[in-house]
Amino acid sequence: MKYISTRGSAPELEFEDVLLAGLASDGGLYVPKELPHYSLEEIRSWRELPYSSLAFKIIQPFVGGAIDDETLQAMLDETYAGFGHKAVAPLAQLDHNEYVLELFQGPTLAFKDFALQLLGRLLDHVLTKRNERAVIIGATSGDTGSAAIEGCKHSKHIDIFIMHPHNRVSEVQRKQMTTILEDNVSNLAVEGNFDDCQGMLKACFANQDFLRGERRLVAVNSINWARIMAQIVYYFYASLNLGGPDRSMAFSVPTGNFGDIFAGYLAKKMGLPINQLIVATNQNDILHRVMSQNKYEKHPLAHTLSPSMDIVVSSNFERLLFDVYDRNGATLADLMSKLNSETVELEAERMAKVRELFDSHAVNDDVTCATIADVYQETGYLLDPHTAIGVKAARECRRDSMIPMITLGTAHPVKFADAVEKAGLSTPELPHHLQDLFEREERYEVMPNELKALQDFVASKVF
């Protein structure tokens, strides 16, 4: 399979090179040149498959022979065997035709595990094959960092550096990252916000001179195509467990960077009947403002009880816009340059096309806590703040009560004690494998919000 850049002027690449490239050389994001498409009959035939076997069916065409089938299936089996529930992504029912897809059963208790535990294995396989060593620099608003570190900490071919905004992630999120003491892992607490971290990450990819041409720089953020690819699977899995593809589904997705919900969009394009995709977001509501008002305008970052969505610029929205603008890279490159510097309205007919599938809703902290409390009182089920935003958005935006509504449960509530306690409830205990988390030794560097400081630190560690 070939991959092309959303901005049209980078070379086409195959899977291995896209895996290692992250951002395209023209500043765009890689997407498949063509998507596989499945008939309802073929999707129906997958109903009895366990998660890792279904993942093989979805992922194999994207890998395009870069990894032989037997090795790929073994990687998938190993990845999802490490999850804490035999179903891997179980469904919890809140009401008639209302469900939460529990995507927090992985080792770091967040949906990022579905992609990042696999990504670490994919990178190790390709780098071993090429006899190369790579540098990973990542930026996290909370959950990406711990999942990436968990996936890559044992690799002999990777040095990983994860930036998080200093004092702006939850204590559990921080400790899941900073208590990993392997020599190839560095945690950097940046004196800024997530967008500052993401800005420095993009600057590193734009100019890699600090690596002196001796190391490859690899992305683990959701700009890396392999992350999107892995997330497509659980849309199929949820649907098949609720009568799909013979009935359509609706999904509500807590999202800041648009990657998780873009995977749902791709699932629909690949043949899965999806009636509605709901963008659920917090006070950092740039996606909601685009969807509801057709106004793309950056506002100052607000710090909320749902920190994984405290993002001003949603990087993966570019991948959707590429399709909306008929996959015209030059047009999109011009549009993206405007989005970074001014308020932009999309053409009316383009926006109408987006709204055929997408709705959106923004939820503040008070409503988030009220939703956590209400759902617990109704069902005894405890939501984390991100999933609570998804449930509230689902209830506000639902188009058809006859169609199952599935909210993606993106994190375990134990990671967000502040929100749970402000909802008037007790934080649950940490799962068994994390029982001693608060006693573990931490190691991290507090770093100024300066690109040169970051690059000098990385260079000092790898050379």
Catalytic residue numbers, as ranges? 112
Q: Where are the alpha helices (DSSP H) in 45-143?
A: 51-63, 69-81, 112-130
**Peptide linkage before 245 cis (omega within 30 of 0):** yes
Written as one letter, the residue type at 376 is Y
> Is 409 in a helix, a strand, or coil?
strand
CA separation, residue 163 to residues 51, 190, 213 (Å): 32, 6, 22
Query: Sign (positive/negative) of CA torsion 286, 289, 294, 298?
Result: negative
CA 202 to chain centre: 17
Contact 459, 211 (CB under 8 A): yes
Q: Who's near 64: CB < 8 A, 6+ residues apart?
A: 1, 14, 15
Phi, psi (deg, nearest 5) at residue 165:
-70, 125
* CA–CA separation, 227 and 263 (whole Å): 9
| First-residue to last-residue Cα distance in the chain | 35
How many other CB atoms are there within 10 angstroms of residue 69's CB atom? 11
* CA–CA separation, 287 and 331 (whole Å): 21
Contact 260, 253 (CB under 8 A): yes
Any bridge partners for residue 159, and if so which?
A: 135
State the residue for tokens 């129906």: 44
Q: How many residues does the chain have?
A: 463
* CA–CA separation, 316 and 334 (whole Å): 16
* CA–CA separation, 236 and 268 (whole Å): 9
* CA–CA separation, 425 and 233 (whole Å): 33
Token readout for 141 is 């608003």
The 3-class secondary structure across 201-247, one letter per residue, is: HHHHHHCCHHHCCCCEEECCCCCCHHHHHHHHHHHHHHHHCCCCCCC
* CA–CA separation, 102 and 161 (whole Å): 28
